[in-house]
């Protein structure tokens, strides 16, 4: 049971209804996370617009989903881990690749560099060094992409905190957190 009321999209009005309709159209349903954050129209708008902005970014859906599962596991967010594992598979990633990403691993050196940086951002609360940025650039990331990696981490922290704080019921196929 969620610690905050899950808003019924059928009862929404105005801008909240419009945003929830967009979310429903994108997913074919309205995930519980959005129903929880819909208690605040500005928070819902912020979350949904951030997904849209990053969805059209340089990094692409596959890397975005790999970052999401690594961050979700670190933040102990079963909801986001489950949702982004499903979305990663929908983006063409295998269950094995998603499981590796959950552990912060990738067989692709460029992806590994992004995951290592994302994990350091979370663990060190953004206290990264010039060498950390340099490592990303050496792996082939532009400064634009480095900024997007940070944005993906920030968005995922927001969604992780939403789901953990409000104890949002998982409505995706459940994926277990690592121990």
- pLDDT band of 69, cuts 50, 70, 90: very high
So what's the pLDDT on residue 36? 98
CA end-to-end distance (rounded Å), the chain: 24
In a 3-state reduction of DSSP, which class is residue 169? coil
Looking at residue 18, which CATH number applies to its domain? 1.20.1290.10
Does residue 4 form part of some domain? no
pLDDT per residue as tens digits for the range 76-120: 999 999 999 999 999 999 999 999 999 999 999 999 999 999 999
pLDDT at 1 over 90: no
Does residue 20 form part of some domain? yes
Does residue 53 form part of some domain? yes
Q: In which residue are the tokens 């209804």 written?
A: 17
Q: Strands (DSSP E) along the chain, which ranges?
A: none
Does residue 162 form part of some domain? yes
Q: In which residue are the tokens 């986001």 written?
A: 80
CA distance 64 to 148: 9
CA distance 14 to 99: 40
Does residue 103 form part of some domain? yes
Does residue 1 form part of some domain? no
What is the DSSP code string of 100-146?
A: HHHTT--SSHHHHHHHHHHHHHHHTTT---HHHHHHHHHTT--HHHH
Does residue 73 form part of some domain? yes
Domain tally, the chain: 1
Structure tokens at 55: 């969805």
pTM comes to: 0.97
Q: Domain containing 15: what range?
A: 10-179
pLDDT at 130 over 90: yes
Does residue 153 form part of some domain? yes
So what's the pLDDT on residue 179? 83
């Amino acid at each position: 049971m969620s610690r905050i009321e899950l808003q019924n999209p059928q009862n929404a009005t105005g801008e909240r209804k419009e945003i929830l309709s967009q979310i429903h159209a994108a997913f074919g349903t309205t995930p519980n996370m959005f129903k929880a954050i819909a208690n605040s129209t500005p928070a819902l708008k912020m979350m949904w617009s951030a997904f849209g902005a990053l969805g059209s970014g340089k990094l692409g859906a596959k890397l975005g989903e790999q970052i999401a599962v690594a961050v979700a596991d670190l933040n102990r967010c079963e909801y986001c881990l489950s949702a982004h594992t499903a979305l990663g598979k929908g983006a063409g990633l295998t269950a094995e690749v998603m499981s590796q990403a959950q552990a912060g691993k990738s067989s692709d050196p460029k992806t590994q560099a992004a995951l290592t940086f994302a994990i350091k951002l979370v663990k060190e609360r953004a206290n990264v060094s010039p060498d950390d940025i340099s490592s990303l650039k050496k792996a082939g990331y532009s400064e634009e992409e480095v900024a997007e990696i940070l944005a993906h981490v920030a968005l995922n922290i927001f969604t992780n905190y939403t789901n953990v704080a409000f104890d949002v019921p998982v409505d995706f196929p459940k994926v277990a957190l690592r121990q």
